[in-house]
Chains A and B, each alone.
Chain A
């Protein structure tokens, strides 16, 4: 069975600084997708970034980038130049290719401090 682990329940970072959120997963599948979702207090889940397992290149979206280590089954999220609006719960999610069943981690609550 697939599992997703986020070992940092809470983190804080000063505005404009960089923070890295950790995620590890376990699977025997070879083709899958990994996601980072942001859930602000308004609670709507917003996709931050997506990584296809078959791609060696790490995904980037503006200030957000990932460090995908397939052999280590690690998928961390780096947020550069943190902004107050980045304050939210961040969830790491796994999905086997061809399905839409997401397996989520327990989340990391990120607070950006002014």
Chain B
């Protein structure tokens, strides 16, 4: 069974640019959530995708957008990057529905984004 993977590991961008981060879900999982973790803070929920549809969104502006593909992999896109977007971006996958794992999510290793 393959765990959650994310790419790239690290990324450096400049203010105003756009970035795409990628996530491959754990096998058998149809739900993907994205989190932003600023340095020294807990992760903050950005949004969630279930079967290719957005299924919940946190308090993030529209320049944060996402996609989920038929194979349940996912992308996080951020437009017009700002300095405060510098953070670790975590992807988490789950089985979806009220499964036996009780809302458990499995996290990837994250992508460290630095905005200069």
Contacts and interface: CB of A to CB of B under 8 A. Distances in A.
Interface of A: 4, 6, 33, 35, 37, 42-47, 50, 52, 91, 93, 95, 97-107
Interface string B37-62: 00011111100100000001010000
A101 B48 contact: yes
B102 interface: yes
A43 B104 contact: no
Given A100-B31, A101-B45, A33 B103 contact: yes
Which bucket holds chain B's interface residue count? Answer: 20 to 34
Given A33-B102, A100-B33, A100-B48, A107 B56 contact: no
B103 to A, nearest CB: 5
B108 interface: yes
Given A33-B102, A43-B88, 10 more contacts: A35-B104, A43-B110, A45-B107, A46-B107, A47-B104, A98-B98, A100-B94, A100-B103, A102-B43, A102-B45
Contacts of B43: 45, 91, 102, 104
Interface of B: 31, 33, 35, 40-45, 48, 56, 58, 88, 90, 92, 94, 96, 98, 102-110
A95 B45 CA distance: 11
B42 A106 contact: yes
Contact of A107 (B41, B44, B58, B105): B41
A37 B108 CA distance: 13
B102 A44 contact: no
Given A43-B88, A44-B107, A44-B108, A105 B42 contact: yes
